[in-house]
Structure 1
């Protein structure tokens, strides 16, 4: 394991243990940042009102390729901004689509590479009726 990944970051959501705040690795920290972008509604953060993608609302939107394309572009932009310095934005890929077998499910696939660690990762999120699985 590289020294860069051995750094400790505060875990999210913040939890306290016997030693104080719990920590996580750099790889886990970036995963948590991605979840924060996806599941924070724009305007939810007082000092960063533009932060967040608010994807939970999309589950009940009419299914259309135009909506998924706009959502993909918005996610790509939000993630690239939030993860600047951590990921190589040129290698960030986002896919958004309704599940063909269950249109009430939204599927999100995110591929990225941590620039400093040269570590690639793929995350999958499934939202069903306002809940997430990932």
Structure 2
């Protein structure tokens, strides 16, 4: 007998019910992208069981822009990605841009399980 290739699926984010009445699923690469988005826009202290999870990017939206802030943001995002998702992705390029009440994260990474390179833009807006 031949072994059957198993397709990996994960729970979709945001959580929702599919048309069959079950938890919606996402392909592994989409699930990894969803995990990155959750990490970027979760503020530390927001998760009860993981109070140190997150980057808190939206907390810094109204901080005056400077080259030092941009460097600090990129370092903290890079550190959070490595700490929480380092087993799933390898970061190749990262750029964080803050304009008005919007933060954009330009990220190129490789999904370790598949070796697929992805270019993503994550955008978050602070409530005014």
The normalised TM-score by structure 2 is 0.84
Identify, as 1 or 2, the structure richer in helix: 1
The alignment of Structure 1 onto Structure 2 pairs a total of residues equal to 122
Q: Give the greater-gyration-radius structure (CA).
A: 2
1:35 aligns with 2:37: yes
**1:6-65 CA-partner distances (Å, limit 9, x unpaired):** 311011121123241010000100010001001111000111111001111222110111
Q: Does the CA contact (< 8 Å) of 1:10 and 1:21 recur in 2? A: yes
Q: Work out the CA distance in 2 between the residues paired with 1:93 and 1:85.
A: 17
The normalised TM-score by structure 1 is 0.80
1:117 aligns with 2:114: yes
Equivalent position of 2:49 in the other structure: 47
**What RMSD in Å do the two structures reach over aligned CA positions?**
1.9
Where does 1:41-80 land on structure 2 (aligned, <5 Å)?
41-80=43-82
Q: Does the CA contact (< 8 Å) of 1:59 and 1:127 recur in 2? A: no
**Runs of 4 or more above 2 Å deviation:** 103-107, 125-128
Provide structure 1 residue ranges, at least 5 long, that are not aligned to the other structure.
none
